[in-house]
Structure formats: structure tokens, C-alpha cells
Chain A
């Protein structure tokens, strides 16, 4: 019977393709972080020079802090809104179905389209908020404006996650609680939230890694400005590499990005019992 099973060759094209264009670059970026390379000639190994430079680079350090701030604020803004709308939209009424399909629309727009739209919308002289704050021009609020734009783009996606998960909660739990006279709020706290905990983890990991790698939004919206107020880590890497032609040093920053991303995902999964979820998946 085992001869009737597909041979490993069936998987080789996919594996080879992934290895060449995704896994190999991961290894190469580590190598490149130990080289000097201007992007045109050949990379030349220069030992740990980039890494010791990184330790003294206050701009890189500042961009790490900006990135972390962006992540935390994005999470704080997006999670409650996505959770509430998602749970609300999980109801069966027709009006909710219609509204959720409208809520979903921002996901169709490319990041470039969204950034350009919001740039026009927030333009101080002719935009929709003439006389309002300098959303993109004030160094104190530009980063928060970026958070708003990111949230507008991605809350719909997380809403979908929560909507799907809320629909999967067994109705019997709510029925029992209703018989016990539980209020709507206490049902949300004691049934909905615990039942959605894995979705919160999934959504949070995607959100955190997503804001860690936010790039095109910021590039188009502010190009890191005003000054360096929104120059987050991926943008710092891009500008160092492709505008400053220091590809070796930019690779060092890229490695930091990978380490940060991996550490974050692992931390969120560990703290929130994601392991039990992955074993549950293996069983299915």
C-alpha cells in the first residue's frame, strides 16, 4: 500500500522554491551583516564592525524605541475595537452581515493607496481637517497618526478573525448563562472572552509582527519625518541600505528585525498558552 503513496518528489518543487527565495535569504542576511557592501560591487567581510557600530548608533536605538511604541499603541488601539466589532458582527441579523461586508472594504486597498488617500485627507490646507492639528507635520503626533492609518487598514482583518471565532462559540454556553440570569456584560466577560483567547493570541501575534514590519505606509505617508519622528526600524534599514548604499550595515539592522520579530512571537505564544493551541491543531 505504501507504494501507492506520493513520493517525496511531489514536495520538492515547493521546498526548493521556498529554500531558494525565502530560507537562503535568511541565511544570507546574517552573512551580509558581517560585510561591507555598497550594493554594486561585492560584499567584503569586515568582521563585527557593523555590529559594534550598531551598539553606538543612537539613531538605530531611537528607531527601535519608535518601533516598539508603534507596536504597543497599535495593539492597544486595534485589539479592543476589532474584538468588539467582531463579536457584534458575529450575530445573525441581516443588517450585521451587510455592515460587516462594508467594514471589510479597507482591506481591498493596497497600502500605497491607503497611504496616499490618508495623506490627501490629512493635508493641512486642502484636506478634510483644515485648521485641525498638523497630523503628519507635528513630530509629537506624527507617529500616532501613522497608528491611526495602520488601524484603519488592519482592524477589518482582525475583526474578521474575531467574527469567525465568535461564531464558533457553542450557543449552549450562552443559553445556560441566560437561564442563570447573567447580564450581557458578564456573558461577554465570562464566556466570550475566554472562548476567544486563542484568537486574541493569533491576532496579537499577527498585529505585533505586522507593526514591526510596517514599511510602505510610513515610507509614503511621512518618509520617516518630520525629522526622524516616524523613522521606525524597517524604514531605517531601507534608508541605510537603498538610499545610503550601506547594504552591509542595513543587513545588520535586518537581523535585529528578525530577532525582534521571532522573540515577540515566541513571547506572546508562551505567555498566553498558545502551545496548547498548536497541539490541538496537530490533533485535527
Chain B
């Protein structure tokens, strides 16, 4: 079907492009300016020289530790979520018993729980479990609050698998565990990727749980590190923005590699 070009919409899209890209350009260009350039010149003027000094300042200021902590929190959260939700989703689809079905309904209700509202009891539980100020303290609740979406995505995808496939496996004498490994895992691979991406992005960018459940520098993650840099650097905005840029860089690389998974991951379970 041929259609005329939609000029107003195209123009609107270009305006929106400026709104999205403008701040990002500001982020990167200011991070490459010297402090005196930042203070002495308008952002609209071209700088005399670009410098990577701000990045050096940030990288020598504890950034590596925060990055490592972020990686640990993200990997552990993803591992927990995938390990517990894949078998559970298989059970929800194939086990019609009331325990499994009611449990699933309960987990779906968790979609509506605002994590903020539970932060005080979570703080109580974590301190009582002697986990305060550890990375585990961040990992456990972050994983728990990732469960509802992960279950929704996996169950939706496994429900699309024809019953006959399961039954054929059963006739071949395969037990549930073998079905899980040889049928469910391969079929659910795109959905698992979605869960991995969604959970990883949430864990990587998490703020509230680290803020409330950790304290010392050794257990600090990137998002809090950024906030801390703001206090440390005072008015050294170029250095702060270099830190912000560095914090985005890893996820940007992941985005370039796995754009397709990332996009489906972000809208997972809401698209229907």
C-alpha cells in the first residue's frame, strides 16, 4: 500500500530526536571539557580543547570497586531469578494443581506492589538476618521483585508450546526433569533471554535497595557511587558527568550487541 509522506509526524519525530539527543550530547561533551572551560564558557561555544582528565579522575576515585560490585549484584540477581523461575514456570504450565496455580496468581499480584512501600520491612528483615551492608542484602530483594515479571514472561511463552510436544516426550518415557532440560529450556530460550535482560537492567540500575541496605564504600554500587561523586566533586560538573557517562557505557555496549533482546525485554509481558 502506497501512502503519502506524513510531514507533520516526520517533523515531530525530528523535534523529539533533538529532545532525546540534546541532553546526551551535553553529557558527553561536558565530560570532555576542562573545568575552567566549563566555568568560563557557555556550553554552546566550541571548546578550545577536549580532555580525558575527567575520566582519569573518576577511574582513580573508587569507580572500579563500584563497577565490580555492580557486576556481582547483577550476575547474582540474574542467576537466582533464572534458576528459580524456569522450573516454576514449567510447573505453572504443566501442573494444574491448586498450590501451583494459586501461587502463580499471588506472584502476579506482586506486579502491582510498589517496591518502595516494602522498603522498611525489608530493612528490618535484612538487619535481623545480619546481612546489612553486604551485597547479598541488595541481591535478595532485587531478585524477589524481579520474579513477577520473569514468571509472566516465561509462563506466557511456555503456554504457546503445543501440548502434543510435552505428551510426545512423556510417551518416550521422559521424566519431568528430562522434559525440562531437553524441551523447556531450548523452547524458552528467547523468553529466558528477555528475563535475563530485564532483570539485569533493573539490577544494574537499582537505587533504592542499595541506598537503604548498604552503607560502606566497599559495598557501594554504581548508582550510589554516582550520587556520592556528586558530593565528592562539588562543583566539578565535568568530572561528575564523566562518571555518569562511564556508568552508562557498559550497558550501552550490551545494547549495541543485543538490541533485539533488550527491546523485547523491556516491554516483555506488557505487549499483549
Contacts and interface: CB of A to CB of B under 8 A. Distances in A.
Nearest to B108: A278
Given A6-B176, A15-B103, A213 B91 contact: no
A76 interface: no
Contacts of A124: none
Interface in A230-281: 234, 237-238, 241-242, 247, 250-251, 254-255, 257-258, 261-262, 265, 281
B91 A8 contact: yes
Given A6-B180, A120-B30, A152-B19, A178 B1 contact: yes
B56 interface: no
Given A28-B124, A102-B17, A265 B117 contact: no
Contacts of B106: 15, 18-19, 23
B6 interface: yes
A13 B114 contact: no
Interface string A24-54: 1110110010000001000100000000000
Contact of A281 (B20, B201, B223, B272): B272
Contact of B118 (A29, A109, A157, A284): A29
A193 to B, nearest CB: 15
B144 A241 contact: no
Contacts of B21: 102, 105
A206 to B, nearest CB: 7
Interface stretch (B46-54, B57-65, B92-100, B186-194): B92-100
Interface string A94-115: 0010010111111111111100
A113 B103 contact: no
Contacts of B13: 85, 88-89, 96, 99
Nearest to B207: A216
Nearest to A250: B120
Contacts of B95: 5-8, 10-11
B107 A18 contact: yes
Nearest to A257: B117
A268 to B, nearest CB: 11
Contact of A17 (B23, B84, B212): B84
A20 to B, nearest CB: 7
Given A174-B1, A284-B272, A24 B176 contact: no
A116 interface: yes
B94 A25 contact: no
A182 interface: no
Contacts, number: 275
Interface residues of A, number: 94
A261 B112 contact: yes
A78 B140 CA distance: 33
B271 interface: yes
Given A103-B16, A109-B248, A160-B267, A209 B112 contact: yes
Contacts of B38: 126
Contacts of B121: 24-26, 28-29, 32, 251
B144 A21 contact: yes
Given A22-B118, A108-B248, A101 B88 contact: no
B20 A116 contact: no
A251 B10 CA distance: 48
Contacts of A11: 87-88, 91-92, 95, 99-100, 103-104
Interface of A: 1, 4-8, 10-11, 13-15, 17-26, 28-29, 32, 39, 43, 81, 84-85, 88-89, 96, 99, 101-113, 116-118, 120-121, 123, 126-128, 130, 152, 156-157, 160-161, 164-165, 171, 174-175, 178, 184, 202-203, 206, 209, 212-213, 215-216, 220, 234, 237-238, 241-242, 247, 250-251, 254-255, 257-258, 261-262, 265, 281, 284
25 contacts: A6-B180, A7-B95, A10-B87, A11-B87, A14-B147, A15-B103, A21-B145, A22-B118, A96-B13, A102-B20, A102-B21, A106-B24, A117-B23, A120-B30, A126-B237, A157-B267, A175-B1, A212-B114, A216-B211, A216-B223, A237-B117, A254-B119, A265-B112, A281-B272, A284-B159
Given A10-B88, A160-B267, 4 more contacts: A161-B267, A209-B114, A247-B124, A258-B113
